[in-house]
Each structure stands twice: as C-alpha cells, then as structure tokens.
Amino acid sequence: MFTKNLISRRGLFATVAASFFALVMGSTVHAADPVKIGLVAALSGQSAKSGEAITRGLTAAMEEINAAGGVLGGRKIELIRRDDESNPAKGQIAARELIFKEKVAVLFGGLDSPVSLAIVPVVNKAKMPFMGVWAAATPITRNGANPNYVFRVSAVDAIVDRRLMQYAKKTYGTKKAGLMLINNPWGESNEKGLKAASKVENVEIVGIEKFEGKDVDVVPQLLRLKNAGADTLFLVANAAPGAQMMKSLGRMGWDVPVVSHWGISGGRFPELAGNMAEKVQFIQTYSFFGEQNERGKKLLKSLIAKHDDIKGPEDVIPPVGIANAYDAMHLVALAINKAGSTDGDAIRKALLSIENYDGLIKNYKKPFTDDNHDALNHNDYVMVRYYGKKIKPVN
C-alpha cells in the first residue's frame, strides 16, 4: 500500500512538474513570438520602386529596433508584405489577409491613394492601426471615422497643393494655371486642393484636364490648356502616366513650366519620359543631400553598406519612400511599447499620446492628435527634380 501510494504521489508530482515546465516554456515561447507588421504596397509593375523604397525604410528601422531589444520586452518585429499591384480591390484583399489571417499588429500602406482609400473602411471596422507612408489624398486620414485608426507620416494633398501653387508663383510668376490630373480619387483630392490654393494665392485656373493611367497620348488635353493661356502646368499622376504627359508635351514643342506632385518619383519616370523628365520640378518630404542629422548620417551609411545599388545620396531613389517609412516605423514601435500590447485600440491611443520623437525628417513634437493624424506639415517639404535618373534638390 505504501509503495503504491508513493508511486502515486511521485506520479502526481511528476505530472505537476511537467505541467509547470510546459507552462513556463509555453510562456517563454509566446513571449518570444515576433510582432508582425503588415505592408500593402505596389511591389510589381510601373510603381514597384515605391514598394521597394518603403520596404527598405521599414527594414532599416526594424533592424535598429530589433538590435536594441525589439518591443514589448524582447519581441522582434517581423515584416509581412503583400503586393496590391496598384489595384484598390487587390489592396483590400491583401489588407484583409494580413489583418485576419496573419494577425498583424499594424498595417502600413503604399504609394497609391485609391488603394489606401479602399483600405480605410476595412481598418477602421477591424480596429486595426493603419500607417500611411506615401499616399497623399487628404481623405485618407480625414475620413470622418470616430475613432479613426488611420495615421500618416507623409504629404497631405491639401498642404502640398498650397506649397506647389506658392512655389510656381514665386519661381515662374504663375498667373494662369493649367491642371493635368490623373482621373481617379487622388486626382479628385488634388483638384479640390489646387482650387482652394489658387484662391488663396490669387492664381487663375484656366483649365482642368483629366487623363487615364493607360493613355499614351494626351496632346488634345494639353492643347486645350495651351489655348486657354496656361502659363504653368500642375501635374498630378504616378510615374507611367506622368511620363506619357511629358512625352506628349515634348511632341507639341510647348515649352511651359511643369510643377508636379510626387507620384512621378515612385516608378520609372526618367526612363519612360526620357529627357523630358528633367523639365519637371516636384515635391518630396526629404532629401539625403546636404547636411544630415545623426539619424540621416547613420541611415545613409547603412543603406550604402546593405544595398549594392546605393553609392551615395543620389542613389537613394525614391528618398521619400525610405524616409517616411523609416520614421513611421520608429513611431509605431514607440506606440507598441507605450501600449504594452498589440491590441489595436491600445496602439491607436498610444500613437495619440506620443509627445516627442527625434526622427530623420524632423524632431516630432506631438506628431498625432485627436484632430490631426498627419505627422508632417507644410514646413516638411522640399522641391526637387531629376538630373538624369538622380533626384536632387532644385538648385
């Protein structure tokens, strides 16, 4: 009887010990699980350079964060990407997969405003923090949702349009503007912004022309603007359609200043537009040229060491994708640590509670508030142009 009881007690002890060991080991494994971050962006097609730049910026920041111990007491950050092919429907599908199947903690968006606008209702319904790092359409963050899970470290059309109008007036003495806008929600966002900016800057808009992404000849639209007396053209399009507009302008022989939004920097614009590419001046949020802060020096050094195609600042193309994504990832990591979890609402509230962050683009002071989910403003833009295939600040 004694032997039997002893064996029974030993068995019970062994069972309890094994259970405790499994519990401890299970907790350890769980604690070491990576925090998944999702990216929906153009990874193929004419705008693939944008997705590559965003990936490089996110990866550079993640490597720094992980090397410093990760987040939430030692968990590494892991990036999971999906290609939206610049297609809103495919972007929605990709976002749902990352949210509900991959269980990402935060979702990042890419170049195309129509894609991001399609994702906005999905993330707000799912209570998933969504960080835009390129798409600039004003309604992406100003979407009317309460609570609003969409944030952005990028340009905002309403602000960009005012800056472009001011720049054209100061640089070219613009009095009569002609608008060449891609026919999609991003074009619509900038139509509103440019109309508002023209009233403030006292510039007359003499014509508004729309064109499609697959158009190969927009001479008729340009002729109407020329006949209307436009002395400056404002271009809003991504790389491929923007290049077609510039080639049409070249065929006309119309020597008119062109001021552009930054969509042309997200793809093969200089290759597609040829020597006409250098005639466009456009906006960015950052340049790796000139004196860099400590983060800029460190990041540029890291990019040169890691990527064979980067030898100096002129090879960081497009700079805006890398810089915006880099700062945004660091801000997200701060928020995850402040939240103490990967809960979507906790991260949303933590993003709103960030007070200061010394970043690459600038030193952020209260980057997000209840009324403003855009971390960058009119002071954070720089005008650039292509010199060959290099993007450099305007002299």
Q: Please report which confidence band the pLDDT of residue 30 belongs to, taking 50, 70 and 90 as the band edges.
A: low
Q: Is the dihedral of CA 270, 203, 200, 183 positive or negative?
A: negative
Q: Please report which confidence band the pLDDT of residue 390 belongs to, taking 50, 70 and 90 as the band edges.
A: confident
Under 8 Å between Cβ of 227 and 182: no
Q: Is the dihedral of CA 128, 133, 137, 138 positive or negative?
A: positive
Beta strand pairing call for 382-387 and 280-284:
antiparallel
Q: What gap in Å lies between CA 214 and CA 211, rounded to an integer? A: 8
Residue 29: per-residue pLDDT:
42
| 365 Cβ neighbours under 8 A, 6+ residues apart | 355, 356
Average pLDDT of 356-371?
97
Average pLDDT of 354-377?
97
Beta strand pairing call for 130-132 and 106-109:
parallel
H/E run at residue 114: helix 113-126
Average pLDDT of 144-167?
96
Q: What gap in Å lies between CA 376 and CA 225, rounded to an integer? A: 33
| pLDDT tens digit sequence for 257-267 | 999 999 998 88
Q: Please report which confidence band the pLDDT of residue 46 belongs to, taking 50, 70 and 90 as the band edges.
A: confident
Residue 6: per-residue pLDDT:
44
Residue 314: per-residue pLDDT:
86
In angstroms, how far is the first alpha carbon of the chain from the final one?
96
Q: Residue 124: pLDDT above 60?
A: yes
Average pLDDT of 152-163?
95
Q: Please report which confidence band the pLDDT of residue 32 belongs to, taking 50, 70 and 90 as the band edges.
A: confident
Share of the chain above pLDDT 90, in %: 85
Q: What gap in Å lies between CA 21 and CA 263, rounded to an integer? A: 55
Q: Is the dihedral of CA 323, 317, 249, 174 positive or negative?
A: positive
Average pLDDT of 90-115?
97
Under 8 Å between Cβ of 150 and 123: yes
Residue 325: per-residue pLDDT:
98
Residue 89: per-residue pLDDT:
98
Average pLDDT of 220-246?
97
Cβ–Cβ contacts within 10 Å for residue 169, how many? Answer: 18
Rg (CA), the chain: 25
Residue 16: per-residue pLDDT:
45
Strands (E), 77-173: 77-83, 106-109, 130-132, 150-152
The pair of three-digit structure tokens given for residue 383, joined into one six-digit string: 């005008």
Alpha helices (H) in 285-318, listed in sequence order:
294-306
Under 8 Å between Cβ of 247 and 273: yes
Q: Residue 12: pLDDT above 90?
A: no
In the predicted model, what is the mean pLDDT of the chain? 92
- Catalogue all structural domains in the chain, each as residue range(s) with its CATH number: 32-155+291-377 (3.40.50.2300), 158-284 (3.40.50.2300)
179 residue type, one letter: L
Partnered with residue 37 across adjacent β-strands are 79, 106
Share of the chain above pLDDT 70, in %: 92
Residue 224: per-residue pLDDT:
98
Check residues 13 and 207 and name the one with the higher pLDDT: 207
Look at residues 219, 202, 162, 155 and name the one whose alpha carbon lies nearest to residue 361: 155
Cβ–Cβ contacts within 10 Å for residue 93, how many? Answer: 16
| pLDDT tens digit sequence for 318-362 | 899 999 999 999 999 999 999 999 999 999 999 999 999 999 999
Instruction: Please give the model's pTM, rounded to 2 decimal places.
Output: 0.85
